[in-house]
Amino acid sequence: MGTVIRSGESMCRKMTHFINPANDLIIVELGAGDGVITKFILNRMSKDAQLFVFEINTELCDVIVKIKDNRMILINDSAENMMFHLTKYGISEVDTIISAIPFLVLPDDLTKKILDISKSLLKTGGTYIQMHYVKNVKKMYKNIFGNVHTYFVPVNIPPGYVFRCIKVSE
Ligand SMILES: C[S@@+](CC[C@H](N)C(=O)[O-])C[C@H]1O[C@@H](n2cnc3c(N)ncnc32)[C@H](O)[C@@H]1O
């Protein structure tokens, strides 16, 4: 999991603050847990948008599936396989990726693989959003995306950070 406590409301709001309902029609969520951020994403999305949710834990998927919203497609698989699944749905490009995957407890090569796939799936100008509980991971995102904005979210247990990267080039 990476944490035993689900994200609080402030963190969920910050993670979804950058969704542009007018432009973001294909949204991907990675590491949804029990769907706490998923519900905020769905609330911010336009009625024509689609949300692809990746969660590796089957028991948590059993909770997420109770969210009844036909804009949500839940995929019980690892984010490293998202290209395969999205292709099945005819999706080659996404507008926004919102991730709470605990990369710091994953092997480095798997983290890099998921971040590289995320970048290649994003359209130019698309946004990658990631949460962490430490700030010193900023460099990892800068190395992949070439840019990163950091936002501190103090009212969360534990307090955390949201990193926002824009895809500016391949
Ligand atoms: C820190 S929890 C976050 C849960 C929820 N989004 C929140 O903010 O409270 C991280 C989640 O990522 C999931 N996860 C870990 N590795 C994953 C992977 N490779 N692909 C998809 N989900 C993964 C875990 O099962 C866990 O539910």
Domain that holds residue 102: 9-166
Q: Tell me if 15 sits within 8 A of 131, measured CB to CB.
A: yes
pLDDT band at 169 (very low <50, low <70, confident <90, very high): confident
* Residue 3 included in any domain: no
pLDDT for res 75: 98
* Residue 132 included in any domain: yes
Over residues 138-162, the mean pLDDT reads 95
pLDDT band at 152 (very low <50, low <70, confident <90, very high): very high
- For residue 153, give the 3-state DSSP assignment: strand
* Residue 71 included in any domain: yes
With a cut of 80, say whether residue 4 has pLDDT above it: no
What is the atom index within ligand 1 of the atom nearest the CA of 131?
Answer: 8
Spatial CB neighbours of 20, under 8 Å, sequence gap ≥ 6: none
pLDDT for res 168: 94
pLDDT for res 62: 97
Neighbours of 156 (CB within 10 A): 21
Average pLDDT, the chain: 96
pLDDT band at 127 (very low <50, low <70, confident <90, very high): very high
Over residues 32-45, the mean pLDDT reads 98
**Which of 72, 129, 115, 120 lies closest to 94, judged by CA?**
120
* Token pair of 29 as six digits: 């969520």
CATH code for the domain in which residue 135 is found: 3.40.50.150
pLDDT band at 3 (very low <50, low <70, confident <90, very high): low
pLDDT for res 70: 97
| Crossing angle (nearest 10°) for helices 9-16 and 36-44 | 40
With a cut of 60, say whether residue 2 has pLDDT above it: no
Calculate how far, in angstroms, residue 90's C-alpha sits from the geometric centre of ligand 1: 25
| Nearest CA owner, ligand 1 atom 24 | 1
pLDDT for res 5: 84
Ligand 1 residue neighbourhood (C-beta within 6 Å): 1-3, 6-7, 30-33, 36-37, 54-57, 60, 78-79, 100-102
* Residue 158 included in any domain: yes
* Token pair of 142 as six digits: 């800068």
* Token pair of 120 as six digits: 């290649």
pLDDT per residue as tens digits for the range 44-95: 999 999 999 999 999 999 999 999 999 999 999 999 999 999 999 999 999 9
* Token pair of 50 as six digits: 């689609």
Say how many domains are in the chain: 1
Calculate how far, in angstroms, residue 93's C-alpha sits from the geometric centre of ligand 1: 22
* Residue 2 included in any domain: no
